[in-house]
């Protein structure tokens, strides 16, 4: 019987202890030493827009709401010339009484650098079903310069993967030589150039979906991701794949490795676009 009472007492004490612990965690959280700072997460995915004033804002916090605090922040990237286009002027400032702020990253002419990625997708909001949306990705890293200022969270740096949904200018008339390509003839097409980037969209060149490509910062190389260009009555979607692209003057040459369908391939070809 005594064992039974002891067991019951142990359960009661354990429950009381757990309750005490739970009450403690509902109180003030440990804030660490005052004046310590960190980013809120190790990764951040901001959108760049035509109305953002060429600024990317990355959140940062500190362990108190003390006086004014200035923190130096370094920006680095493995991509060439990114540190010339993306800059953090003057570091970051916490105003007195504020526990959070935002690092202001300014960016310049995106046409001077190559994006980390080019994404082309069907525009689901398109009435025609032929329009595409084009996004560019720009990766870089922000790091707190003085490691002595880093809070116990230890998030001293953040990998920023900024993406820009491109808008395009008015249509212009270009010439597409598809004699050795998919269409087998030469004819006029409509092209649109992206605002603030060396990306071109060809409007429904094969009477189906828009396609797009990027002119690299070297002014010679054309980046053309695999993308759907036509819908075959029997075999379904046809994609231009394994494309090697170049540009010389106004002439864009796309050497298509394969006009690919699910069942196989229609072979290779060449599309030559003369820009206006």
Distance CA 105, CA 60 (A): 13
Distance CA 147, CA 157 (A): 10
Does the reported pTM lie above 0.85?
A: no
pLDDT at 90: 86
Domain 37-165 CATH superfamily: CalX-beta domain (2.60.40.2030)
**Do the beta carbons of residue 206 and residue 183 sit within 8 Å?**
yes
pLDDT at 136: 96
The answer to whether the Cα torsion of 215, 217, 221, 226 is positive or negative is negative
Average pLDDT per consecutive 10 residues, the chain (276 residues; last block may be shorter): 38 38 33 84 95 96 94 97 95 95 96 93 83 96 96 95 96 98 98 95 97 96 97 96 98 98 97 98
pLDDT at 32: 59
DSSP 152-208: TT---EEEEEEEEE--B---EEEEEE-TTSSS-SEEEEEEEEBTTSSEEEEE-TTSS
Distance CA 160, CA 228 (A): 30
pLDDT at 127: 75
């Amino acid at each position: 019987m005594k064992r039974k009472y002891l067991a019951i007492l142990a359960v009661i004490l354990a429950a009381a202890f757990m309750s005490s612990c739970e009450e403690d965690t509902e109180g003030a959280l440990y804030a660490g030493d005052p004046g310590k700072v960190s980013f809120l997460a190790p990764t951040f995915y901001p959108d760049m827009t035509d109305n953002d004033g060429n600024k990317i804002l990355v959140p940062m916090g500190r362990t108190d709401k003390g006086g004014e605090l200035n923190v130096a922040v370094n920006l680095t990237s493995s991509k060439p010339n990114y540190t010339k286009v993306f800059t953090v002027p003057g570091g970051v400032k916490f105003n007195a009484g504020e526990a959070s702020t935002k690092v202001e990253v300014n960016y310049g002419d995106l046409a001077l650098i190559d994006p980390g990625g080019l994404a082309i997708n069907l525009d689901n909001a398109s009435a025609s079903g032929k329009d595409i949306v084009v996004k560019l990705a720009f990766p870089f890293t922000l790091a707190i310069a003085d490691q002595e200022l880093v809070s116990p969270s230890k998030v001293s740096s953040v990998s920023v993967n900024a993406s820009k949904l491109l808008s395009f200018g008015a249509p212009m008339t270009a010439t597409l030589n598809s004699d050795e390509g998919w269409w087998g003839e030469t004819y006029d097409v409509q092209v649109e150039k992206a605002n603030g980037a060396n990306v071109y969209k060809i409007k429904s060149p094969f009477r189906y979906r828009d396609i797009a490509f990027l002119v690299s910062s070297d002014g010679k190389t054309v980046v053309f991701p695999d993308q759907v260009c036509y819908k075959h009555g029997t075999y379904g979607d046809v994609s231009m794949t394994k494309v090697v692209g170049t540009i010389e003057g106004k002439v864009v040459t796309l050497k298509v490795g394969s006009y690919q369908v699910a069942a196989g391939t229609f072979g290779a070809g060449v599309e030559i676009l003369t820009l206006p």
